[in-house]
Amino acid sequence: MRVMEATRFGGPEVLVPGEAPDPAAGPGEAVIAVSVADVLFVDTQIRSGFAAGYFDVKPPYVPGNGVAGEVISVAEGVEPGWAGRRVITHTGERGGEGGYAEKAVARADRLIPVPGSLGLREAAALLHDGPTALGLAERAQLQPGNWVLVLGAGGGMGLLLLQLAHAAGARVIAAARGRRKLDLALELGADAVVDYSEPGWTERVAETTGGAGPDVVFDGVGGQIGRAAFEITASGGQFSAHGAPSGAFTEIDPQLANQRGITVRGIDQVQFGPADLKRLAERVLSEAAAGRIRPVIGQAFPLEQAAAAHAAIEARSVIGKTLLLI
């Protein structure tokens, strides 16, 4: 079968087409004919070697751990009725788990059926970002009238958080870089937008909220941008530091947060167990099938152009999700 392989740690050019034996399912597993593979920012970090301390992945390896497709075979201990069903699933936990391939193996208890009215591209776009966004929104317990600031609002998860906050009746400020991303945020329900590449953006957020600052901040960026957003978070508010495409998660002084009564959640608090993850994924697929949320797919590349997909993500040139089509 065709695969894309990272031959070593390095730039996007280390991703090259290759061939591998067809996978076989072990007990409790299923084989999926992959139609779409999800591409994550963390995939680029693993490939570059930046995340070597966090993921036990060594080249050569086939990246990707999220796919959408059709179950083509099941092994012992798996309900035969799964065969022929359209599903999304994670193929592993370590980041280099064979998602960029024509076929992939997954645990049967992590197969999530795709509603008939939802396309596989849309389902794949929701596999990682959907459950996380929904889980973040649930934990924030958003209320009508809350001011919610979404940092990284042009990315796949940021756009979902924007829609979920809007649906909850919150007033949403979308923060991103560039006019195209801000215009899309307005289209999807943002009440106001700011470009955090421009000076004075935090002052504009504060002014929009009447000087009080946002009640809830979803920080999908990290670094200095996240820190600036924390400074204007309303006293008694909430701050979720779950993103680090800037290179580091936002570091918050616990004593300062306590003095201001701000509840801070880090990435460790949005790691969901298998049962919760499956529940959230099933719910987000249902919401999308019903048209209540819309995943935004910025670009889709053929499998053989995985290097171009990684380069686009690293250049911050993609709005929404990036996918590989197999």
What is the mean pLDDT of the segment spanning 139-163? 96
Dump pLDDT digits (tens) for 259-313: 999 999 988 777 788 888 899 999 999 999 999 999 999 999 999 999 999 999 9
Contact between 309 and 301 under an 8 Å Cβ cutoff? The reply is yes
Q: What is the pLDDT of residue 289?
A: 96
Distance CA 100, CA 292 (A): 30
**Reported confidence tier of residue 54, pLDDT bands at 50, 70, 90:** confident
Point out which residues pair with 18 in neighbouring strands. 3
Res 222 pLDDT > 60: yes
Dump pLDDT digits (tens) for 161-211: 999 999 999 999 999 999 999 999 999 999 999 999 999 999 999 999 999
Contacts of 317 (CB under 8 A, 6+ apart): none
Res 241 pLDDT > 80: yes
Domain ranges of the chain: 2-113+296-325, 129-270
Contact between 19 and 95 under an 8 Å Cβ cutoff? The reply is no
DSSP 249: P
Res 246 pLDDT > 80: no
Q: What is the pLDDT of residue 51?
A: 75
Res 93 pLDDT > 70: no
Q: What is the pLDDT of residue 247?
A: 73
**Mean per-residue pLDDT of the chain:** 94
CA geometry: angle 187, 191, 197, nearest 5 deg: 85
Which CATH number describes the domain made up of 2-113+296-325? 3.90.180.10
What pTM, to 2 d.p., does this model score?
0.90
Contacts of 185 (CB under 8 A, 6+ apart): 150, 153, 154, 159, 162, 174, 176, 193
Which percentage of the chain shows pLDDT scores above 70? 99
Distance CA 66, CA 99 (A): 6
Which three-class secondary structure state does DSSP give residue 17?
strand
**Positive or negative torsion for Cα 204, 231, 219, 140:** negative
What is the maximum span of the chain, computed from C-alpha positions, in angstroms? 61
Residues 162-178: b if buried by 16+ CB within 10 A, e if exposed: bbbbbebebbbbbbbbe
Q: Does domain 129-270 have CATH number 3.40.50.720?
A: yes
Residues 108-118: b if buried by 16+ CB within 10 A, e if exposed: bebbbebeeeb
**Reported confidence tier of residue 53, pLDDT bands at 50, 70, 90:** confident
Dump pLDDT digits (tens) for 95-134: 567 999 999 999 999 999 999 999 999 999 999 999 999 9
Res 224 pLDDT > 70: yes
Res 94 pLDDT > 60: no
Res 215 pLDDT > 90: yes
